[in-house]
Structures are given as structure tokens and as C-alpha cells.
Chain A
């Protein structure tokens, strides 16, 4: 029986990585918030690999952190290994990746939610979203509770009508044996949403005691720990290694012999999987000539023997799983604790959303995470914080926070999902970002903390740290441009040792630092570094000097881009009225309802000529309005 159970400003459905950020953001911004999870054991569950970050995903974590989110802090609290990837490449693509303790990660995030002022954490399955006209009215649980609210964030992850598949066996189940959500899909369809069915998978978890590590290569963490959060000072922690091994021809042979039993090839799986995350059978079929594939063995935590087998994701039957795992060096006697499985789930067509992540049709209804067709914890969390912030902005009648493609990976992610949609689970990649050199992980705070402050998520402590860093870097940039070094004996000897061409007359410190052979820390040797600067600040100065040419180039490109983004298209525009627009363009524009000329130009099927026509039309409307006034 349905009964009135209470009122919240914001209700978040789902407490995965998107739901947690959304709920925390809404509560921290002062809204009375509730977050519902089908099981409280599912809060911030790292259902696939026990790892946060990696290329471009690490950037997302830093950005969420810079805005005042939780994922970075929670990772720093619970990582058991951390590494900076790509250090041999340019600064824009340096990426942090951590192994988290799966259980601690969940517990720590659950505690954060539980202790958050304004936030109630509840177990329950949401059955329906209630609307009043085209506005949110509330939600109803399967157990009858009816909560009234003003905004809802749907962050159901892979739980909607989820089904797991292991070989010939399949069952309606969420990840890790948790309940699926069987009712909400129909409600979304009734509200007018188009649903897609996507698929993802996870490898087996195996017992550490059954692994022979002597046959694998050890992969330790970095000696110098660089944390994710701009708020975490230096961290000293004992780290645990990961292990590298390889598949071989016997592994591949077993897979080939049993392909007919793979649900992927027998037609049992309908959902669309991602190219980014193929199963081992996919790899073996598509890349026949590759003789071996990498396997990383990653610890799931400190107080468990479970190990994650990265690279052997599969939906093969368990007997095949056992046989093929045991062909891998070091896994000859391996004991599988949890078999690998594929999982199918419902998600929405993300082009039905605005850039604010609000539904185009129902006011106050927001979506974040895998329900929008993305994949990955970090992608989910990024959408979560934005949906959380914007649900509050909506309630308070303020304009939504929209980060654009030149400001953040978060902007690239959401713009891609909303403007282009996705036909497969969407993964963030650095090559999706046009202004990659500006969107570095080291300067996420420089890009976003000011914005987080304005929104209200950045507390004084975080803001002060940011301001201090900014000021020190600016001052140092001025200083090195002013200091001139002369060809003294000491300097020349230093230059010779560094293998850089000698100077005949004085040059600025700035010009010296521009040389590829000279690092900021080298300046210490000639006593010209600034001792006041921390590692982070030194890094900023170094990057700004060394890559100035390219950074300037990208800033110019970004400025051009911004001009088109800032040409806002009024929401009440009637595309049918515009002469000269091609029919296809008209349909697409009507469907996507772009916010700006810039966004319109990224819609497939809208040509430059259509954009020209649109610009002339907008100018015409503007002048007519002026005339009327």
C-alpha cells in the first residue's frame, strides 16, 4: 500500500559513484537530500576493477575534486597502490591511477554519506517517478513509501533490468549478486524515455594463495606518492604490488574451441558492448594474429585474498573459465572464487538530456552515470557531481552549471553524451578532448576551484590553498622573467654539465628554463630556485614556461571555440520557421535543442551553411526584439 513518507528537496536514486557525488553535492549545498540504494552494501561499490583513475579518468577525478567532490579524497584514504602514468610524455597526459581497497573504499564512502549533514541514506528500490504536469512530484518505493520532492537524480548504474550471463547460465541479477531494479525501466518508458540495452563484463576473482607470483612480473607503486586530491598533503603509505603475466596459444586455443558456448557468439547477449572493454574471447577472435595478451593481477584489498584478473573478462561457462585461466603462467593451480560474468542493463538515450543533465521534457528530473550510457566509475562520478549541483541550481531558480569542452574533461564527457549520444558504453579518453593541453590533471584546481567556490561546494580551506598556489605561481612567473643570469664561471659550468648550449650574454631565468635540458629543480644547483614553492607549484611554473607556445596556441583555439559557445539559442526557437534550413538539419536541431550555436555545430547532420542560416536568423530575431521594445 502506498503511503506518504516525507519530503526532500532532492532525491538521488542509486548510491554508486554517480549517486554518491550527486547526493553529497546537493546536501552540502544545503538541500534536504535523500539517497536511496537497493542495498546499502552497494554504496560506492567498485563492482569491476578495484582501481580508480588512469588516462583521462584520472583527470576526471582531479576535476571532481577541484569542484569539491568526494572521489579524490575517498581514493586517497583507501588506495593501496598509486602510480603516475605517462610520465615519459607531455604534462597534459600524465595520469594518476590507484588501486583502491575495495571494501575500505565502500566503507569510507558510506561513512561520509552517513555523516553528511542534510543527507539521509536509505535502503529501498524506487519503483516509480511521480510527475505533476511536466514537473517532478516525488518517488514511490516498491515497499509503498511515497516521498515528495522537487528534484530527482536518477543514478541507477547497471541495475535497471540487469541480467548476468555466465556461459549457458543467466539470471536477473545486479552486479556482485545484488538485486536488480526491475520496475523503474517501465516507468521511464511511460515518461517518454527511449531505452537502450548495453552490456559490460568483469573477469573472475581468484584466490591469492593459489597464485604462483614467481612466474609473474611485479609492478610496484610509485616511490613518491602523488595523491589525487588537492586537499591531501603528502601521504606516506606502504603499498602493495600488482602482477603482470600473459595469455598464450593454449589459452587462445581453449577459447576458440569453446566459442560456440560463449553467449556473445551464440546470440544470448543482446546488449551492445564497448570496444573499449572487450572480453578475452573478443580479443582472440578480432586479433587472431596476436600471440599473447597482457594480464594484470590486482589485489582487491588488504584484508582479502581475492585478486582481480585484469584482461580476462569473459562470459564463457565456468568450466571453460577454469581451463583457460589455468593456462596462464602463475595461474596453473588457480582457484576461482567468483566467476567472470557479463551483465546487461537498460540505459537511456542521453540525447534526451540537456547539458545540465536535466531531462528536456520533465523539469527537475536529472540523470547521471551509466544510465546515460557511459561506463566507468570516474565518468559516473563526474556526471554525479554536475547533476547534484544542477538539481540544487534548479530548485533555487539559478542557471545550471555547464562546463564546456575547453574547461574540463567533464565538459567534453557531458557534451559528447548529450550532443552526439552514444551507441556503446562511453569511455573517456584523452583523444576526445580538443584542448587537451589546457585540461591537464595538474591544473584542475586552477580551472575549476573558482567555479566550485561560486557554486558553494568549495570550503574555505580548499579555497585558501588554491589562492595561495595561484599567487605563488604568478609571482614566480614574474620573478623568473626579471632575473637575468650572466655567463659567469659557475653558470657556464652548470650549463655544460646539463648539456645545454652556453650563453655569451645574459638571459633571463625564464629563457633558461625554456630549454628542454633544464628542469626547474635544476635551478637549485645554481641557487636560483624559489624555496617557498611546493612540488605542485614548481610543476606549474615549469609547464607554463616549457610549453608556452603550445599552450598559447590552444588558448587561442579555445577562445575561438568559446565565442560560438557563448552565442546562446533561445529555448523557444521554432526551427520550422527558419527558411533555408535543410530538412535534416531542422529535425536534428529540434531533437537535440542545442543551447548554443557552438553546440549546434557539433550535431551530426547540421552543416556549416545551416549554422550560417541560423546565425542570420538569430540576428534577425534580436533586431526585431529591439525594434519592438
Chain B
């Protein structure tokens, strides 16, 4: 909200290009980039020349490398926002982008609000008056789509844990505040040790949560992978083989119809929802037609398609139809039944499968299944597959809240250990509550007073 903060965001669409950019704007950008960037030989740079690309790597606070990068600094007022801007050009995958953004936040940047770079550009006079309405529309639209994603995400494990954590903090604060505002009531005051104990418990919980949030497992919606192919090429066998190899997480929709079966599994930290469709071919009757339409719908919604073909069969019109159906999709070709005689020739569909990985498997014998998994994993991590960046950003926002809250809880703990009076410690605890409240949109004072007056019997 404040114009004085340094803001950070991923400024390229996630999963679209090979290169991604994390951008910061604000007076602390240069300082933050100095803390994150190391040259090829591991040194920190004292000075960044204006508009000059530096090659090196981004490291976290423990010195671990996040990615190889190019970094450029554009100093005020000659930048998009007319503020100091630092850009980090890294690989386009979700993993490096997310890590780099998180390191920037840990170093003191704040995750930008929807449309905030543009807003600053306008407020600082970089964008002319004629575009003001456009800027307002942009803020509005982006906020709406972010809000939608965040509502979906709010129901997730992460936000309910954040809520609980905030509740615990409010409890602690209520204890402190009631003793301050009602010194004459006979309320038993909690010992400093007890506060330390409670806050230590909370910070440990918070750290655990942060580290799991990191692996991405808490991103609730997985990647939607759809298996397609003609009947009897081994689609179900492939699904079963994948399920056998991996821990199935939930069985969401257990065959409401026989046509689409959905399973969720965890491939090396990537949550994948995998759908087995009825074959796609010309419908023989109405019932089959319904099934095929369902398959088509699934393909439309898929983030990634596994196209299964019989390695011992030949390409025919039905295959061409499928190829047409999935031509705009991210896909992997699985040549199944390699335990039989190889007969398939992919030449006739070569325009359809440029840059498409081809994996050979025997689903029945379990051969090649790890290759399929690796291929899925690489496409996701490499940034080729990722559609819903709003959810991704929401997740980062949750992490940011946790990081900030953690900082304040640590301040509170060190204050307690140094015998600082409780009413001052309370300042840190309030800030921690505020940080977590940014996720849920709640303000401290009212919740605190509610807590105080429901818990303690007070007043004349």
C-alpha cells in the first residue's frame, strides 16, 4: 500500500517462456539485490553500473544457490516506475522464480499488490494522464482475479493454519493487554517464561509450515494431466502403473461415470491430478458420444496431455483426429506396448509433435514409467506447464505473511529474554498479528477486544 516500500513481483507470465523475470522497485532495490547476488566466483558486488547486465547467481541467506541469472539495475528516475528498479532474469520455471521472489521478500521487499508497478509508474508521472482510467481498470481487474484465486486458496490447509497461528498470537496479546488495561483486576499474570514458551512453540510451528510451503505441496490445485488415446492402447494400464509407483493422495471422483477417472498423485513434490479418458473416436451411439464429449472437455481443461499410442500399431485417421484435438496442448507422447513388435511410424504426424518428448513404455511390465514421471516433472519445473499463476502468487503471499510474522515473533522473543517490559513486547506481537492478518483481511484491535472481553471478567 505504501509508496515507500520496495516491492517485488514476477513480471513475466509463469510457465510461458524459457526466461522469467523477477522485478523490484523502490529505494531499497539496489541494497536488496546486493544481498542476493553473487558473481561467478561467489563474490558480492559493491556497485552495479546503471543499465548494465551482470552474470552470476542468486543465493539465499545461507548462501545456497537458487539459480544462474542475469541482473540489471535501472536507477531512478530513468526507469518504468521512476524509482530504483532491479531486475533478475532467471530460468522460466516455477521453482527458480518462486525461490528468487521469496529470497527478495526475505531481504525486505514486499510482494507487490496487483497492478502496483503500473500504479507507481502513474503516480510518479511516468504514465500520462490519458491512461489513468486504464490503470484503474487494471488494478481492479487484477485484484478481482487475484481475489478469486485467493478465495479458492483460502480454504486450503495453509490459510487455516495461518488463521490458527494468528489466533494463538491474539491469545498471547490479550493476556498482555488485559494486564495493562486492567491493572487493578485480580487477573493472574502469566510468567515471562510462559510467554517465551508459547512464542517459541509458535515460531517452530511457523518455520515448519514455511518449509513445507516451500516444496509446493501445499499448492492445493495440482497440475491437470489428461491421458488420451485410442481404445486399447493401454491408457488404463499406464494410469495404474503410475499409481502403483506413486503414492496416490486422494481418490477424488471415483468413477461417477466410467468415462473419466481422476486420481491425484505426488510426483517428487509436484501435485498431479491425472485423468483417464474414454477413447476418442467417432461415436457409434449416443452414450458413447456423451463419453467422448466429456473426454474433449477434459482435454480442454488439461495443463498437460499424455498421448498414449500402441507402439505395435499403425497411425490411422483416429490418431490424426486426436492429434488435431490436442494440437495446442503441452503434451508427452507415450509409445506403449514396447514389449511387442515395434510398428508405429510417427512421421505422418510430425508437424503435430514438434518438441514433444516421446517416451517408450510397457505399462504392463512397468518399463519406462519412471521416464514418464521425469518427463512430467521436468515440464512442470521447467516452467512449460503452469496455468494458474494467481494461485501461485497467493501462495507466495501466504509465505510472505509467514516470513514477516516470523521476524516479529523473533523480535518479541529476544525482547522477552532481555527483560523488556511486556507492553513493549506486545508491539512486536501486534505486528506479527498484523502480518498474518494481511492474508485474512482482519484487523487486530477488534479481535483483541473481543478476546479480552470474552475471556476475562472486567469492569466496574
Q: What residues make up the interface of A, taking CB atoms closer than 8 Å to B? A: 48-49, 55-56, 85-86, 89-90, 92-93, 95, 203, 274-278, 283, 286-287, 290, 293-294, 296, 310-311, 313, 429-432, 434, 436-437, 516, 547, 550, 553-554, 560, 563-564, 578-580, 601, 607-609, 611-613, 615-617, 619-620, 623-624, 627
In the complex formed, the residue of A with least CB distance to B450 is A275
**B residues 135-176 touching A (CB-CB < 8 Å):** 135-137, 139-140, 143, 173
CB–CB B423/A92 < 8 A: yes
Asked if A311 and B132 sit within 8 Å, CB to CB, the answer is no
Which A-B residue pairs are the 3 nearest by beta carbons?
A90-B421, A580-B140, A609-B143
CA distance A620 to B186 in the complex (A): 57
Q: Which residue of A lies closest to B177 (CB)?
A: A431
Residue of B113, B123, B445, B449 near A608 (CB, 8 A) is B113
- One digit per residue, 1 when the CB lies within 8 angstroms of any chain A CB and 0 when it does not, for chain B 282-313 equals 00000000000000000000000000000000
With A89-B179, A431-B180 given, can you name 10 additional A-B contacts, CB distance below 8 Å? A55-B181, A90-B424, A277-B459, A437-B427, A563-B2, A579-B137, A607-B143, A616-B136, A616-B139, A619-B123
B181 to chain A, nearest CB (A): 5
A612, B141: Cα distance in complex, Å: 12
- By a CB distance below 8 angstroms, the chain B residues around A313 are 460
Instruction: Name 18 interchain pairs, CB-CB below 8 A, sorted by A.
Output: A49-B460, A89-B183, A89-B422, A275-B449, A311-B460, A431-B173, A431-B452, A578-B136, A579-B136, A579-B140, A580-B136, A609-B139, A615-B123, A616-B139, A617-B132, A620-B129, A620-B133, A624-B129
A483–B130 CA distance with the chains assembled, in angstroms: 61
Given A90-B421, A553-B427; A613-B460 close (CB under 8 Å): no
Q: Which of B132, B139, B179, B458 contacts A276 (CB 8 A)?
A: B458
- Residue in A closest to B185 when the chains form the complex, CB atoms: A294
Q: Is the interface of B mostly helix, strand, loop or mixed?
A: helix
Q: Mark B447-460, 1 if CB is under 8 A from A, else 0.
A: 01100110001111
- A613 with B139: in contact, given A55-B182, A86-B180, A92-B424 (CB under 8 Å)? yes
Closest Cβ of chain A to B456, distance in Å, is 8
Q: How far is the CA of A617 from the CA of B137 in the complex (A)?
A: 11
A274 and B100 CA atoms in complex are apart in Å by 50
Kindly name the residue among A429, A434, A516, A624 whose own CB sees the greatest number of chain B CB atoms within 10 A.
A429
Bitwise interface map of B from 433 to 454 toward A, beta carbon under 8 Å scored 1, else 0: 0000000010001001100110
User: In the complex the two chains form, is B185's CB within 8 Å of A609's CB?
Assistant: no
Most B Cβ at <10 Å: residue of A49, A90, A296, A434: A90
A57 CB, min distance to chain B CBs, angstroms: 10
Q: Considering the complex, give the chain B residue whose CB is closest to the CB of A92.
A: B423
CB-CB under 8 A from A608, the residues of chain B are 1, 113
Tell me, in angstroms, the Cα distance from A612 to B136 when the chains sit together.
8
Of the listed residues B113, B132, B179, the one surrounded by the most CB atoms of chain A closer than 10 A to its CB is B132
Chain B residues within an 8 Å CB radius of A615: 119, 123
Alpha-carbon separation in the docked complex, A85 to B179 (Å)? 11
Residues on A with beta carbons closer than 8 Å to the beta carbon of B3: 563
B418 within 8 A of A: yes
Task: Please report the C-alpha to C-alpha distance between residue A145 and residue B421 in the assembled complex, in whole angstroms.
Answer: 58
How far in angstroms is the closest Cβ of chain A from B212?
Answer: 28
User: Closest CB of chain B to A599's CB: distance in Å?
Assistant: 14
Please give, as numbers and ranges, the residues of chain B lying within 8 Å of A286 by CB-CB distance: 457
Knowing A612-B115, A620-B129, say if A275 contacts B181 (CB, 8 Å). Answer: no
A17 to chain B, nearest CB (A): 17
Q: How far is the CA of A437 from the CA of B422 in the complex (A)?
A: 12
Give A262 Cβ to nearest chain B Cβ, in Å: 17
Q: Which of B3, B136, B139 has the most CB of A within 10 A?
A: B136
A432: shortest Cβ distance to chain B, in Å?
Answer: 6
Q: Which of A275, A283, A560, A579 contacts B4 (CB 8 A)?
A: A560
Q: Which of B139, B182, B419, B457 is in CB contact (< 8 Å) with A293? A: B457
A290 / chain B contacts, CB cutoff of 8 Å: 457
How many Å from the CB of B7 to the closest CB on chain A? Answer: 12
- Indicate whether B62 reaches chain A with its CB closer than 8 angstroms: no
Is there an interface contact between A437 and B445, defined as CB atoms closer than 8 Å? no
Q: How far is the CA of A624 from the CA of B114 in the complex (A)?
A: 25
Bound together, the chains give a CA A627 to CA B130 distance in angstroms of: 12
Which listed residue (A56, A274, A294) contacts B186, Cβ 8 A? A294
Contact B419 A516 (CB under 8 A): yes
